[in-house]
Amino acid sequence: MTETPEPVSVRVDLGPRSYDILIGPGLVASAGRHIAAALPRARALVVSDETVAALHADRLLAALESAGIGAALLTLPPGETTKSFDHLIAVVDRILAERLERGDAVVALGGGVIGDLSGFAAGIARRGMQFVQVPTSLLAQVDSSVGGKTGINSARGKNLVGVFHQPALVLADTDVLDTLAEREFRAGYAEVVKYGLIDRPDFFEWLEANRAAIFSGGAARVEAVAASCRAKAAVVAGDEREDGDRALLNLGHTFGHALESVVRYDPARLVHGEGVAIGMALAHRFSVRLGLCSGQDAGRAEAHLRAAGLPTRIQEIPGDGFTVDALMDKIAQDKKVSRGALTFILTRGIGRAYVARDVAPDAVRDFLNQELAA
Amino acid sequence: MTETPEPVSVRVDLGPRSYDILIGPGLVASAGRHIAAALPRARALVVSDETVAALHADRLLAALESAGIGAALLTLPPGETTKSFDHLIAVVDRILAERLERGDAVVALGGGVIGDLSGFAAGIARRGMQFVQVPTSLLAQVDSSVGGKTGINSARGKNLVGVFHQPALVLADTDVLDTLAEREFRAGYAEVVKYGLIDRPDFFEWLEANRAAIFSGGAARVEAVAASCRAKAAVVAGDEREDGDRALLNLGHTFGHALESVVRYDPARLVHGEGVAIGMALAHRFSVRLGLCSGQDAGRAEAHLRAAGLPTRIQEIPGDGFTVDALMDKIAQDKKVSRGALTFILTRGIGRAYVARDVAPDAVRDFLNQELAA
């Protein structure tokens, strides 16, 4: 067994709900020790999907057992459709069937779908159990596992049902990212870039210099995940329930969600991170058009996304359906829209994003017309 | 239209989640004004059951309309079985279908079932909407509408799934209690008595002197509800998520839940407040047996419950099934049981209850043997 370095620790500062994110290689294998330290005497239910469980569940269960943590495993089908009331009920029922108490832990081993679903189940079983995230995708490590947002989809839209339920611990094992498909890693990287573009120009510059190293693993990858978690933790600590500045995390997401919605969340056409990449490029070009941002900065943001193999234009999405009317309709339905006024995250340059709450729908329409004609 | 006095206001002090409970006559008719003051520009979904809606929904909807609050009504079947995942999903879907936003309100018009269910729906739709309680039973006015506990039942037990979600406002209209069946009013009164028995001996003495006036309505009823809400608010403010002293509110409930469970929650045999009345009498007699409480105090508690028409002995419940083994099995399953040790609320006298976390199961068993042989 090789010696693994001590993980990097990022504190999410939320008063009595504060917790640590540990980031580094080998954390699945040492999960038992870390969970036992955070939650003494807890038992656990590990929730995973079939794909991830086949790769990592045995190792995690062995780690829990070796730390004296009795654990059961619940495996669900992979994919976004698992974020449903039916699967929520199944997870809650299993928690109760295992007679877990409030101090026991639901452990999410998987990507955003598993994290969102099992965090929601942990938030409502016995009115709130302990919850541990072991995110296995880059997207989950740098975004969905940090901040306490949990939820499922409704027939009326994505993530419309859920709770804020903070985990007791997050273990981001950077080794497991080696098992991701290249496309999935790239998609997660879009969210990493996002933190630089929001308000960390130095981090963006560091990413420009270290992109290849991050993709190949090692210390640069650990640092990229840790810096992303620090960035998100800082925003979440200032606005736990998304009443204010947390909206900055939606950079690229209003356009991105509209694109995902037009393709009906078909991952063959577009995955979330790709939508965010295109959305961020659109937000920058829209800001240029509004005279807020220099064309040079917008070009630099776009160039970095392209270098990482990410799309930056609507026309890169295979298939059709991208009309101005269809996109405007989706944008108007977005749950961040408040009483008619359109809220967008716009930017004054690299790392200078801000929340604009008064964007005229006609300005968005004109911009999209230009984009689709290009 | 008769002049109604200004309602009594009780503040529940929970930092950013603080809210007022207004108590008095005529509050359904003035609900629009109070809700508009607490939640400016909110729209609303009123959730009720068929029985309560027939009596009060028209008046509430008219009050909302006259205050400029657009409101829809969702009516569900009455009864405990409505606290299910199926009905939860129906309420959430209606909230989303009405396109209510986070600042809009779910208004619960009903007893504990409607309050628990719609509070849960409000807690998870869009990860938390505004919530207003208009409790129409005495039990809901003095207990379930205060404190933010929401939830539904699972096949594995009652109230095992839910969230803590504080309302923005509670409107306890003491006039609507005139529409309650006598048995239901008495059952709610058991929870009023509980607050005196926990730690308010002066209130208990006041109840002994004013019981008849409270049952007939008017100022004494308003004061009884207000004092109960103040008592519960004080406990909740000190322990929002039931980690400590909030357990005192379970006086009579461990025995009471076991009795309810044995009769399978058949309201023809036993309703919750009756179970609590018997449970409180048992807790006092158990405390006498353990040498903690004088027989005189236990007799006084029991005498007041009997004077209110409430049962105080297991043998008063119609039907059979009350064996020591059956009761011990239910007590061991209670969710407040932690890792084998039995937790009971015991008492050193009227208004001197405390949390005992180390009660020997054999002592409970011996006591129940004595009770059932009596």
Which of the 8 DSSP states describes residue A13?
Answer: -
Tell me the per-residue pLDDT of A175-205, one tens digit each, with 9 for 90 and over: 999 999 999 999 999 999 999 999 999 999 9
What's residue A1's pLDDT? 44
What's residue A338's pLDDT? 55
What's residue B334's pLDDT? 62
Burial state string for B338-350 with b = 16 or more CB within 10 A and e = fewer than 16: eeeebbbbbbebb
Tell me the per-residue pLDDT of A277-318, one tens digit each, with 9 for 90 and over: 999 999 999 999 999 999 999 999 999 999 999 999 999 999
Secondary structure string (H, E, C) spanning A289-327 = HCCCCCHHHHHHHHHHHHHCCCCCCHHHCCCCCCCHHHH
B221 among known catalytic residues: no
**Structural domain boundaries in chain A:** 8-177, 234-373
B269 among known catalytic residues: no
Q: Is B284 annotated as a binding residue?
A: no
CATH superfamily of domain region B232-373: Dehydroquinate synthase-like - alpha domain (1.20.1090.10)
A336 among known catalytic residues: no
B149 among known catalytic residues: yes
ipTM of the complex: 0.93
Domain B8-180, second-level architecture: 3-Layer(aba) Sandwich (3.40)
Q: Which residue of B has its CA nearest to A120?
A: B124
Would you place residue A341 in the very low, low, confident or very high pLDDT band (cuts 50, 70, 90)? confident
Taking CB atoms and an 8 Å cutoff, what residues of chain A touch B83? none
What's residue B338's pLDDT? 55
- Which is nearest to B175 in space by CA: B7, B325, B333? B7
CB B14 within 8 A of CB B236: yes
Rounded CA separation B298/B349 (Å): 7
Q: Which residue of B has its CA nearest to A92?
A: B161
User: Does the pLDDT value for residue A230 go beyond 60?
Assistant: yes
What's residue B242's pLDDT? 76
Would you place residue B1 in the very low, low, confident or very high pLDDT band (cuts 50, 70, 90)? very low
Q: What rounded mean pLDDT belongs to chain B?
A: 94
What's residue A9's pLDDT? 97
What's residue A241's pLDDT? 79
Residue range A215-227: mean pLDDT, rounded: 96
Q: Which residue of B has its CA nearest to A150?
A: B127
DSSP per-residue letters across B216-277: H-SHHHHHHHHHHHHHHHHHHHH-TTSSSGGGGGGTTHHHHHHHHHHTTT-TTT--HHHHHH
Are residues B123 and A163, on separate chains, in Cβ contact within 8 Å? yes
Taking CB atoms and an 8 Å cutoff, what residues of chain B touch A96? 154, 156-157, 160
Tell me the per-residue pLDDT of B30-81, one tens digit each, with 9 for 90 and over: 999 999 999 999 999 999 999 999 999 999 999 999 999 999 999 999 999 9
Tell me the per-residue pLDDT of B323-362, one tens digit each, with 9 for 90 and over: 999 999 888 876 455 556 788 999 999 999 999 988 999 9
User: Does the pLDDT value for residue A257 go beyond 80?
Assistant: yes
Q: Is B114 annotated as a binding residue?
A: yes
Q: Which residue of B has its CA nearest to A161?
A: B125
Q: Is A158 annotated as a binding residue?
A: yes
How far off is chain B from A43, nearest CA to CA, in Å? 12
Angle, CA A303 vertex, CA A297 and CA A306 arms, to 5° = 145
Residue range B308-334: mean pLDDT, rounded: 92
Taking CB atoms and an 8 Å cutoff, what residues of chain A touch B151? 127
For residue A280, give Cα distances in angstroms to A243, A304, A354: 22, 12, 13
Angle, CA A374 vertex, CA A349 and CA A196 arms, to 5° = 25
User: Using beta carbons and an 8 Å cutoff, which residues of B are at the interface with A?
Assistant: 85, 89, 92-93, 96-97, 101, 120, 123-128, 149, 151, 154-157, 160-164, 241-242, 335, 338-339
Provide the phi-psi class of A189: left if phi over 0, else alpha when psi is between -120 and 50, else beta. Answer: alpha
Provide the phi-psi class of B293: left if phi over 0, else alpha when psi is between -120 and 50, else beta. Answer: beta
Domain A8-177, second-level architecture: 3-Layer(aba) Sandwich (3.40)
How far off is chain A from B236, nearest CA to CA, in Å? 15
| A97 burial via Cβ count (<10 Å: 0-12, 13-18, 19+) | middle
How far off is chain B from A84, nearest CA to CA, in Å? 11
Annotated catalytic residue, options A272, A284, A285, A304: A272
Are residues B93 and A163, on separate chains, in Cβ contact within 8 Å? no
* Ranges assigned E (strand) in chain B: 8-12, 19-24, 44-49, 71-76, 105-110, 130-135, 152-154, 157-161, 169-173, 342-347, 353-359
Measured in residues, chain A has a length of: 374
CB A72 within 8 A of CB A46: yes
Residue range A368-372: mean pLDDT, rounded: 96
Q: Is A115 annotated as a binding residue?
A: yes
The owner of tokens 């001996």 is B201
What's residue A189's pLDDT? 98
Amino acid in the structure at residue B86 = D
Angle, CA B105 vertex, CA B103 and CA B110 arms, to 5° = 165
User: Does the pLDDT value for residue B157 go beyond 90?
Assistant: no
What's residue B225's pLDDT? 98
A191 among known catalytic residues: yes
Are residues B124 and A124, on separate chains, in Cβ contact within 8 Å? yes
What's residue A186's pLDDT? 98
User: Does the pLDDT value for residue B208 go beyond 70?
Assistant: yes
Are residues B124 and A162, on separate chains, in Cβ contact within 8 Å? yes
How far off is chain A from B339, nearest CA to CA, in Å? 9
CATH superfamily of domain region A234-373: Dehydroquinate synthase-like - alpha domain (1.20.1090.10)
B246 among known catalytic residues: yes
What order do you get walking across the sheet with A71-76 strand by strand? A8-12, A19-24, A169-173, A130-135, A105-110, A44-49, A71-76
Tell me the per-residue pLDDT of B261-272, one tens digit each, with 9 for 90 and over: 999 989 999 999
CB B309 within 8 A of CB B186: yes
Rounded CA separation B241/A57 (Å): 33
Which of the 8 DSSP states describes residue A346?
Answer: E
Rounded CA separation B300/B205 (Å): 10
- Which is nearest to B117 in space by CA: B168, B60, B79, B155? B79
What's residue A244's pLDDT? 76
Would you place residue B168 in the very low, low, confident or very high pLDDT band (cuts 50, 70, 90)? very high
Taking CB atoms and an 8 Å cutoff, what residues of chain B touch A161? 92, 124-127
Tell me the per-residue pLDDT of B219-266, one tens digit each, with 9 for 90 and over: 999 999 999 999 999 999 888 877 777 889 999 999 999 999 999 989
Are residues A92 and B161, on separate chains, in Cβ contact within 8 Å? yes
Tell me the per-residue pLDDT of B3-29, one tens digit each, with 9 for 90 and over: 567 899 999 999 889 999 999 999 999
